[in-house]
Amino acid sequence: MTATQSFDAIKRQNKNSANGVGPSEKEQLGQWGRAWEVDWFSLVSVFFLLLCAPMIVFYFVMSCDQYKCALSGPVIDLYSGKSSVSDTWSRAPSFSWTAAKIYTAWVCFQVFLYMCAPDICHKLIPGYVGGVQDGACTPAGLINKYEVNGLQAWIITHMLWFANANYFHWFSPTILFDHWIPLLWCANILGYTVATFAMMKAYFFPSNANDCKFTGNFFYDYMMGIEFNPRIGAWFDFKLFFNGRPGIVAWTLINLSFAAKQQELYGQVTNSMILVNVLQGLYLVYNPVQLSTPSAIGILLLGLIGYYIFRMTNHQKDLFRRTDGNCKIWGKKPEYIECSYLSNDGKKHHSKLMISGFWGLARHFNYTGDLMGSLSYCLACGFGHLLPYFYIIYMSILLVHRCIRDEHRCSSKYGKDWKHYTDAVPYRLLPGVF
């Protein structure tokens, strides 16, 4: 079957599944998880990220490496004729097979933990109880099973990292920093490869044809994905693995590797570097900043409060879902809005949207905590350069757009019930402001 034939078959299947559904329900049927009109901001963002993101990161790294983190440095040198693009490129480390081997070993190790961490924990930890959890209902009406073991993988990985640093000495703790730019190229190669494979898989052998969304725009589909939950077999879920591993597990290892390099270069680790490691952030090795004690405490409190809001907001939602509302949030039985929606097979499902606790303050209050943490990472770098603040700018744009995009999808999913919810919780991120 060709890609066009596969696409036509999926459209026919979706059309047939809507038979017997009323006009108002047809508008709601399957719209929340699949094709919708791509707005201009989303399309421009997709083009920008696909074409420019790797080079922007490269520019930032080169600004730190060659211009002491002055973002204007390369541009001024190019404008004045002191250097050319080829000069900057030639001074930068390029792709290396050593980095490729490191990155391949890393990804393979994370795949191993993804598949085997529960068995390892059962053998090593007395009384360990793993957890298989149900995912959200997909547009096709499916509920996938997930073996949730990200924390276990993170713990095992970091135990091995510290064991190596202190006892085994298989590799230097600065290995990630020492191969930083070649590893970035490897990560980008894997990213584009996986995106290409996922798109081909959606056309030729999707996990479920009814869980494929086609917007009609090649670049948007390539960036955002077509399958709702692409899988190989019953357990290897692309979204779960690549969203949480190998990048998120590596995040704290990157911090530790950068801290080790700072120790190697200066004989000490600054309090700002410690803060960023504590707050799960990334810092600049060649520009050590020693913060005043009040500043360090203030930034730490901002990060910890943001983390608390982020974690507790998500915990409240998880508790509410697991108990079907039979719990207490802030000492009281939670309030909620009853909602209904249709899957692609025409079946009606019911859901509850909580309007208590943090979720009564704003519809995306977990993002508010996330932004507070992001700001604390940037503030730990001081005010000497603009570069560290790119992160909070990027996260603000990303999360605000995600709020709008998710709410468009929820409006299509829940219909008039969503209007009742937004009336009950009128603000998105900041109570009384936005």
**In angstroms, rounded to a whole number, what is the distance separating the alpha carbons of residues 247 and 242?**
7
Domain residue limits, the chain: 21-73+287-434, 93-269
Q: pLDDT digits over 345-399, tens only?
A: 778 888 899 999 999 999 999 999 999 988 988 888 788 778 778 889 989 998 9
Question: Which residue type sits at 11?
Answer: K
Average pLDDT score over the chain: 83
Does the structure show a pLDDT above 70 at 14? no
Tell me the pLDDT band of 37, cut-offs 50, 70 and 90. Answer: low
Q: What is the pLDDT of residue 35?
A: 46
Does the structure show a pLDDT above 90 at 406? no
Does the structure show a pLDDT above 70 at 293? yes
Weakest mean pLDDT among 42-56, 70-84, 280-294, 395-409: 280-294
Tell me the pLDDT band of 17, cut-offs 50, 70 and 90. Answer: very low
Does the structure show a pLDDT above 90 at 189? yes
Which residue in the block uniquely carries the two structure tokens 């640093």? Answer: 165
Q: Which tokens sit at 319?
A: 């508790």
Q: pLDDT digits over 233-286, tens only?
A: 878 899 889 987 888 889 889 989 989 999 998 888 888 777 777 664 433 645
Does the structure show a pLDDT above 80 at 432? yes
Region 156-166: what's the mean pLDDT? 93
- The percentage of residues in the chain with a pLDDT greater than 70, rounded to a whole number, is 86
Q: What is the pLDDT of residue 31?
A: 56
Q: Which tokens sit at 403?
A: 């709020």
Question: Which residue type sits at 95?
Answer: F
The torsion region of residue 214 among left (phi > 0), alpha (psi -120 to 50) and beta comes to beta
Does the structure show a pLDDT above 70 at 12? no
Polymer length in residues for the chain: 434
Interior angle at CA 424, CA 422 and CA 425, nearest 5: 65
Q: Which tokens sit at 75?
A: 């541009």
**In angstroms, rounded to a whole number, what is the distance separating the alpha carbons of residues 390 and 59?**
13
Region 181-201: what's the mean pLDDT? 94
Does the structure show a pLDDT above 70 at 330? yes
Q: Which residues contact 365 (CB under 8 A, 6 or more apart)?
A: 309, 313, 358, 359, 429
Pick 422 or 17 by higher pLDDT: 422
Which residue in the block uniquely carries the two structure tokens 């910890």? Answer: 304
Q: Find the largest Cα–Cα distance for the chain.
A: 73
Tell me the pLDDT band of 129, cut-offs 50, 70 and 90. Answer: low
Helix (H) or strand (E) holding 318: helix 293-322
